[in-house]
Amino acid sequence: MSRPTFAELYCARHGLEPDAYLPTVFRRALYPHTRLVVTWLRLMDSDYFAADYDLVQAAGRIRSLRDYAGDAVEFNHHPANQGVLRRVLRLRVSVRRLRALIRTTLPGRDSASPFPPSPTTSAPP
């Protein structure tokens, strides 16, 4: 029997239907200041958050924190993840916030994680 995915565990832990995974985790992984302008950004460009949704969907399929490393690297180099709004103002999903959600949801921790320890040990709100 294979281990459950992050999305399966997250939904079970928070009492969510599987369809609620993507919008819920997307919102929780956003930088806090980005939450204030999500609607405006979507009105300006309906595909603005395409790279972010790709990352959250990919994270939902992982079974260990180690599996997240490649997804995070791809996100950082995603062609849609360029420009002042995304790079400088950080109007996007936070790789670290998503990693914290994964870390607090998946059982155990990968001792060989390619990520340095997070500066905070608490999960994002």
Alpha-carbon distances, residue 98 vs 46, 62, 67, 116 (angstroms): 22, 12, 13, 14
Strand partners of residue 93: 30
Q: Where are the domains of the chain?
A: 6-105
User: Model confidence at 1, in pLDDT bands (50, 70, 90)?
Assistant: low
Q: Could you tell me how many residues make up the chain?
A: 125
pLDDT digits (tens, 9 = 90+) for 86-120: 999 999 999 999 999 999 999 875 434 444 444 44
pLDDT digits (tens, 9 = 90+) for 7-53: 999 999 999 999 999 999 999 999 999 999 999 999 999 999 999 99
The rounded radius of gyration (Å) of the Cα atoms in the chain is 14
3-state secondary structure of 19: helix
Please state, in angstroms and rounded to a whole number, the distance separating the CA atoms of residues 103 and 8: 14
Q: Among the residues of the chain, which ranges form H helices?
A: 6-14, 21-29, 32-35, 38-44, 50-60, 65-76, 95-105
